[in-house]
Amino acid sequence: MPVDVNLMVGGEAGQGVQAAGYVMAKALARGGYYIFADQDYESRVRGGHNFFRIRAADREIGAISEALDVLVAFNGESVDLHKKELADKGVVVFDKDKVKNIDGSINHFGVPLEQLAEDAAKNKIMSNVVALGVTMSLLDYDLDLLSNAVSEHFDAGDAGKANVAAATAGYQYARANFKGDFIAHLSPIGQSKRMLLDGNEAIALGAMAAGCKFVAAYPMTPSTSIMEYMAAKADDFDLVVVQPEDEIAAINMIIGAAFAGVRAMTVTSGGGFCLMVEGLGLAGMTETPIVVVEGQRAGPAIGLPTRTEQGDLEFVLHASHGEFPRAVLAPATVQDAFWTAVKAFNLAEEYQMPVIILNDQYLASCYATVEPFDLSRVEIKRGQLLPESETARSGEYRRYEITPSGISPRALPLQQGALVVSDSDEHDQEGHLIEDAETRTAMMLKRLRKLEGLRKEIAGPMTYGPAQAEMTLIGWGSTYGALKEAVDLSNRDGLKVNLVHLNEIWPFPAEAVTRALQGTKIRYAVENNATAQLAHLLRAETGYQVTGKILKFDGRPFSPDHIVRELKKEVA
Partner 1 sequence: MAKISDYAGKPPAWCPGCGNFAILTAVKRALVELDIEPYRVLMVSGIGQAGKLPHYTRCNVLNVLHGRTLPAAAGAKIANPELTVIAVGGDGDGYGEGGNHFLHSLRRNHDITYLVHNNQVYALTKGQASPTSDLGFVTKTTPHGAWMPLNSLAVAIAAGGSFVARGFAGDVDHLVGLIKKGMQHRGFALIDILQPCVSFNHKNTYAWYRERVYKLEDTGYDPGNRLAAFEKSQEWGDRIPTGVIYREDRATFEEQIPALKKGSLVKQKIDPRQVEVLIQEFL
Q: Is residue 216 a contact point for partner 1 (CB under 8 A)?
A: yes
Distance, CA of 215 to chain centre: 18
Q: Decide if residue 495 touches partner 1 (CB under 8 A).
A: no
For the chain, the straight-line distance linking the first and the last C-alpha, in angstroms and rounded, comes to 32
Provide the 3-class DSSP secondary structure of residue 33: coil
Positive or negative torsion for Cα 236, 242, 247, 252: negative
Burial class for 188, CB neighbours closer than 10 Å (0-12, 13-18, 19+): middle
Interaction between residue 192 and partner 1 (CB under 8 A) = yes
Question: In a 10 Å sphere around its CB, with 0-12 CB exposed, 13-18 middle and 19+ buried, how is residue 383 labelled?
Answer: middle
Question: Helix 127-138 to helix 17-30 angle, to the nearest 10 degrees?
Answer: 40
Q: Which is nearer to partner 1, 108 or 326 (CB)?
A: 326
Chain positions 402 to 431 lying near partner 1, rule: CB under 8 A, are 412-425, 431
CA diameter of the chain: 86
Q: Does 205 bind partner 1 (CB under 8 A)?
A: yes
Stretch near partner 1 under the rule CB under 8 A, chosen from 186-194, 301-309, 475-483, 509-517: 186-194
Answer yes or no: are the C-beta atoms of 231 and 370 closer than 8 Å: no
Query: Any contact of residue 137 with partner 1 (CB under 8 A)?
Result: no
Among the listed residues 151, 124, 138, 143, the one whose alpha carbon sits nearest the alpha carbon of residue 91 = 138
Q: Is 264 in the site for partner 1 (CB under 8 A)?
A: yes
Pick from 286, 310, 365, 542: which binds partner 1 (CB under 8 A)?
286
Residue type, 254: I
User: CA distances (Å), 271 to each of 133, 219, 222, 247, 296, in order?
Assistant: 41, 11, 11, 9, 9
Q: How far is CA 359 from the centre of its chain?
A: 5
Residue 13 in contact with partner 1, rule: CB under 8 A? no
**C-alpha span between 98 and 538 (Å, rounded):** 53
Minimum distance from residue 204 beta carbon to partner 1 (Å): 9
In the complex with partner 1, which residue's Cβ is closer, 228 or 423? 423
- Binding piece for partner 1, criterion CB under 8 A, among 7-15, 102-110, 240-248, 563-571: 240-248
Is 254 an interacting residue with respect to partner 1 (CB under 8 A)? yes
Is 194 a binding residue for partner 1 by CB under 8 A? The answer is yes
CB of 413 to partner 1, least distance (A): 4
Site for partner 1 in 364-393 (CB under 8 A): 372-373, 375-376, 378, 380
Q: Shortest approach of partner 1 to residue 300 CB, angstroms?
A: 23
Angstrom distance (rounded) from CA 461 to CA 465 = 13
Single residue of 19, 210, 328, 483 touching partner 1 by CB under 8 A: 210
Q: Please count the residues of this chain forming the interface with partner 1, following the rule CB under 8 A.
A: 69
Interface with partner 1 (CB under 8 A), residue from 92, 121, 166, 209: 209
- Nearest one of 348, 334, 484 to 407, comparing CA atoms: 348
Q: Which of 87, 260, 304, 522: binder of partner 1 (CB under 8 A)? A: 260
Ordered alpha helix ranges (H), 428-559:
437-457, 480-492, 510-517, 533-542
Contact indicator for 550, 476 with CB cutoff of 8 Å: no
Q: Minimum distance from CB of 202 to partner 1 (Å)?
A: 9
282 binds partner 1 (CB under 8 A): yes
Q: Does 166 bind partner 1 (CB under 8 A)?
A: no
Applying CB under 8 A, does 242 fall inside the site for partner 1? yes
The piece of 141-149, 211-219, 470-478, 486-494 that touches partner 1 (CB under 8 A) is 211-219
Closer residue to partner 1, CB minimum distance, 58 or 388: 388
CA-to-CA separations, 114 to 34, 94, 130, 132, 448, in angstroms, rounded:
31, 10, 8, 12, 64
Residue ranges in contact with partner 1 by CB under 8 A: 192-197, 201, 205, 208-211, 213-214, 216, 233-235, 237-240, 242, 244-246, 248-250, 252-264, 278-279, 282, 286, 372-373, 375-376, 378, 380, 412-425, 431-433
